Chain A
Amino acid sequence: MLFKIASVDSLIIYFGKSIDEQIALNVKKAYLCLKKLDIEGIIEIIPSYTSIFISYDIFKFDFESLKELLENSINLESNESFEEKIISIDVYYGQEVALDLLDMSLKTNLSIEEIIEIHSSKLYDVYAIGFLPGFAYLASVDERIALPRLSTPRKQIPKGSLAIANTQTAIYPQSSPGGWNIIGRTTMELFDKKLEKLSPLSVGDKVKFNPISKEVFLSQGGSL
């Protein structure tokens, strides 16, 4: 763990320098440990791919004292198992909503069915949440379907759109401009004011996509 100053009242801990499963696992361990410790005086904790950002009350800690406390209380070596949370998300991969599937099929020389099969057979890790509230960066997408962002972003991507950019996949929690390849749509709310935690996902969770038919999608309240 490498500690760096972020601002007068925040620091950032680095766990490595690349997007990597082992590094992400350490981020997850440290994040769960911090949540469990619930240290008074820590204001925000933002986990991401390789780091955890922490802002704190300067009347309770300074950089050195918090660093010392965290170095002594975060144990990455521990083999304590944590509950593996797997969230299953129903997705309709139909072409009415999968705006880029046909194009992706041409670019990858895979059939649409194959792309759907490849995408939905993998278990993804939530590496970070940001950009928009509830926008979870999931990885890693199979290299065969890992296409770069569109050269011209769309002005409006419909809410619930499932998308791919390189080896990452994500759902747009609200309609928004964006440049990712759209491959499906879900009716699940990714940012929901009715939920106590606001989002069903948190960093460290795992996500599985479950392909559904048009009928099921419509019966769940989906719109085309």
Chain B
Amino acid sequence: MPSAPDPSFDPARAGHLVAAHGHNRILGARFLGYGPDWAELAIDWREELVGDEATGVLASGPIIALMDMATGMAVWVRRGVFRPQATLDLRVDYLRGAKLGATVIGRGECYRITRRIAFVRGQAHDGDPADPIAHVAGTFMFTDVE
């Protein structure tokens, strides 16, 4: 059975912890906030994250990592428990390049949960949520369910 919500689970604390670890830390990920089924994170523009030196546009890799993180956190927030899960797939549509020097904000939403799978979607923007730079859709698998 899926794990029951854990009353001691604090999404903000978990979000800050996850953002400060390993690859997320290297990206400079910051946890911004959450709601019943969503979580929001940001990465600031840095020279090291550039994918095209001629234009200074961020590489697509940091954006996919940001959205993997934001959608994954949305699953924990919706379940109300911090349990192991693995990304099954993630599709990213790159709508346009992020503005030079702009902070990229990623908002992930978990819109459906089954016994073993969570379905997620999200958008990334660089200041105006109505003018997104990327759209994502993906699935996570709970690794603690037989």
Our verdict on whether A and B bind, yes or no, reads no
Residues of chain A at the chain B interface (Cβ within 8 Å): none
Which residues of B come within 8 Å of A, CB atoms? Answer: none
